[in-house]
Amino acid sequence: MSVKNNNILIGVGLRHPHFTDVLTQPKQVDFVEVHSENFFGEGGAALSVLKQTRERYPISLHSTSMGLGSREEIPQDYLYRLKKLTQMIDPFLMSEHACFTWGQQQGQLIHSGDLLPIEHTHASLDRMCMQVDRVQSLLGRELIIENVSAYLHFAQSHLSEAAFLAALSQRTGAKILLDINNIAVNSLNFEGGDIAQSIANYIKVLPIDSVAQIHLAGSSLPATGEFVIDDHACPVSDQVWQGYEQAIQRFGAVPTLIEWDNDLPTWSILIAEADKARALANSILAKGERQ
């Protein structure tokens, strides 16, 4: 399914408590995004809801476990399930993260259960390009790769994450999913917290046509001295909205998603966040200014 991109497309993350809303409320967003792995079952009510939702909305499949940056190969069973879901849903966007998830423990393959950071080196870039090529070839689709919130860094990294993703995109044809909150979280935890500057530094490295989706989310404020956790548990912060303005100025009408995963609000509050994104993007796009 293709979606015309004349106007900005605004979507929301669809989670279980909103299943009834998405099927019964008037259509107020352009697309919804779901976590692929939540629909890896062979059948049942959740998959049925997804199929019904697909009749009303374009769907973005966002995977969280593939671990494209893993040194281990992504297991066939995982890819088989993802391919099956992809063929069933025919998503208009398909994304994953620039992270690793697979490893070995006592000779057994294990999954990290989280998005773990990768080294940003030429060697890890080579590895991830191979994984992305393999998955894109298997699925017959272009992937969109997201920058992550990281809570530690590897001393061996000699590329910035932005440069890493730009090179990955250039070499594989995959696009970039720009998560502005993740840049903000990393800025607060590791870069002194000048979020506007961190975002400006990040996006100027990314080629204008490389960004195919934007994620907006909120993070709870931590106790003093503790790291900010990317918990998607509150509204988008003012600083992230300001970063979004910068991103739209640079990349134009890129499909944008409001992510809210914990302490879920009502559907109407979620839609209000989406409306806010649309109004902000349209005001920037109306000025017609690109950086």
For another protein, the binding residues (CB under 8 A) are: 37-38, 40-48, 65-67, 70-71, 75, 77-78, 81, 100-105, 108-114, 116-119, 150-156, 227, 229
Amino acid identity of residue 85, one-letter, is: L
- Quick one: 72 or 245, whose CB is closer to another protein? 72
CA–CA gap between residue 270 and residue 22 (Å, rounded): 11
Count Cβ atoms below 10 Å from residue 249 Cβ, excluding itself.
15
Judge whether 211 and 247 are in contact, CB under 8 Å.
yes
- Quick one: 54 or 81, whose CB is closer to another protein? 81
- Quick one: 68 or 174, whose CB is closer to another protein? 68
Name beta bridge partners: 12. 32, 258
- Quick one: 160 or 170, whose CB is closer to another protein? 160
Least distance (Å) from another protein to the CB of residue 82? 9
Least distance (Å) from another protein to the CB of residue 262? 10
Least distance (Å) from another protein to the CB of residue 50? 12
Three-state secondary-structure class, residue 287: helix
Closest to 40 in 3D by CA, of 20, 58, 59, 65: 65
- Quick one: 26 or 44, whose CB is closer to another protein? 44
Q: Crossing angle for the helix pair 76-89 and 122-139, nearest 10 degrees?
A: 50
